[in-house]
Amino acid sequence: MHVTVSLQQYDVICNTFSGSVPPPGNTKGKRMKRPVPTILLVCSAACALLLGGCGTRDQHARAIQTAIENYTDYYIEVYDLAGQVGEQYRQLDSLQGAIDYTITVDIPNYSAVDPGLAGFTAPATDYAAMSAAQYRATSAASLRASLEAYALDNAFSTYVELPVTFSLTDSGRGLSAAMSQTSRNDIKTVVDGMVNSLLSSCDGYTQNLRLSSAADARFTLLKSLFGGDYAALTNVLSVSDNKDGTYTLSLSYPDPYDVFAALAQQYYDSFNQPFYGDARTAVLSADDLSGVGTADMATAYGDVIFAFDETSGAFSLSDASAVETQIASAKSESEAAATSRVNEEWRVPEVEAPSNGAILEGTTGGNQIVFVSDVSLGKYYYVRFYLLPGDDADEEGTLAAGVFIVGGKKATIHLPSGYYSITCYVGDAWYGLDALFGPDGTSFDGGNAVRSRSGYINTISFE
């Protein structure tokens, strides 16, 4: 920061290096006053001489001068601070509580500077470390730093004048001034607007920004090819301008065979109980890779080509055939393996239904029992008869026979004399004796013991 103070006026020049918005407003011709080393050395003494015998007006000026000196956001210059404060001081109402001053600050008109002359060179792109937006911000900060350094050593023919508001407060330990947030935003708007306008005229920057934008576009354009989460894992090694409106991106990414093999394992692990009926077909998607560790996977490489539309400013996918073939092959292979494994280990297939009246468990012989089925309960019945030690149906019996019955038909079974409990299973698809009718089957029991005795034909039905 440089501060020049004279008995006639306060001239304050503030410089900072930190780092998009409309072009400047009014400009005026003015040559910047340059402090020399001897003035810098005696600055504090000059302030003391000037302010020592001054009253309230000078206290106001000193508070504003301190606020300007402490402002570090952007490079600004202030001339004739004493005059500006004095003019407004005469119009102050002694009874008013809040005291605001409007001070005109000068901002060099950067729009008139050649960026190269100011020492600016467009930064190189780093596709792995920054997005296009980050590259734009980095470039803008670099250009601004170059321009502000240039402003320290060179006079400008034009400046942007900007009114800035300072509010004075008395904390009990003396007056202090603070620049309003609105004024800070106004300075930012003006400076950033000039910097960004100038930046867009730099060929090196615009080319590098285009390359960065092409790299960014991969997340959207490759989502349907890779899958959302998978596309986010792609890294850009380089972007080449093909000089025909297209750009070639060289990519690295986790090997698709490893990625889809991990997804296939996830699919298999999701099965924890048998399923019945039709075979399942594994469909694997890399949209969601949560739970898939990719850090230790092998790395694959491939090129894709993006086309750029100058009118819309948008990229589109022009050719990704090699990568598409690689991913499709890995996906197909893993889906086939997962499908085979799951169906082999977890599927219970439907089997051909036995004939009506077929005895599938136990033996038949003895007294005749007729079972009448109702088709409204189900397509098939399977009935088990348990021989009881007595005549109490609640007692545990021993399986004597099991008969398969087609719904709506009768079946005859012969059982030795005694009391039997009955359990009837009903369903529409037969999976064999172990699974019977699967999870969709229904079971019933008679609740009473059925007696088989010589010379009698017992008829049983479930309705």
Map out the domains of the chain as residue ranges.
2-201, 208-348, 358-461
Q: What does the pLDDT read at residue 446? A: 76
Counting residues of the chain whose pLDDT is more than 90, the rounded percentage is 76
**Alpha-carbon torsion (171, 175, 178, 180), positive or negative:** positive
User: CA angle, corner 412, sides to 411 and 418, nearest 5?
Assistant: 130
- Options 3.30.450, 3.40.50, 2.60.40, 1.10.3210; CATH of 358-461: 2.60.40
- Is the CB of residue 198 less than 8 Å from the CB of residue 143? yes
**Alpha-carbon torsion (157, 148, 64, 62), positive or negative:** negative
**Alpha-carbon torsion (33, 38, 41, 47), positive or negative:** negative
Please determine, for residue 203, whether its predicted confidence score (pLDDT) is greater than 80. Answer: yes
Express each pLDDT in 47-77 by its tens digit: 332 333 358 899 999 999 999 999 999 999 9
Q: What does the pLDDT read at residue 393? A: 85
How far is Cα of residue 244 from the mean position of the Cα atoms in its chain?
Answer: 33
Q: Rounded to whole angstroms, how far apart are CA atoms 29 and 330?
A: 68
Looking at 49-53, 360-364, 432-436, which range is the least confident one? 49-53
Q: Rounded to whole angstroms, how far apart are CA atoms 122 and 321?
A: 34
User: CA angle, corner 207, sides to 201 and 209, nearest 5?
Assistant: 90
- Is the CB of residue 326 less than 8 Å from the CB of residue 253? no
Please determine, for residue 415, whether its predicted confidence score (pLDDT) is greater than 90. Answer: yes
Counting residues of the chain whose pLDDT is more than 70, the rounded percentage is 87
- Is the CB of residue 28 less than 8 Å from the CB of residue 157? no
Please determine, for residue 95, whether its predicted confidence score (pLDDT) is greater than 90. Answer: no
Please determine, for residue 13, whether its predicted confidence score (pLDDT) is greater than 80. Answer: no
Express each pLDDT in 169-197 by its tens digit: 987 778 899 999 999 999 999 999 999 99
Express each pLDDT in 296-327 by its tens digit: 999 999 999 999 999 999 999 999 999 999 99
Phi, psi of 453 (to 5 degrees): -145, 155
Please determine, for residue 233, whether its predicted confidence score (pLDDT) is greater than 50. Answer: yes
State the average pLDDT for the chain.
Answer: 87
Q: Rounded to whole angstroms, how far apart are CA atoms 16 and 75?
A: 5
Q: Rounded to whole angstroms, how far apart are CA atoms 55 and 442?
A: 101
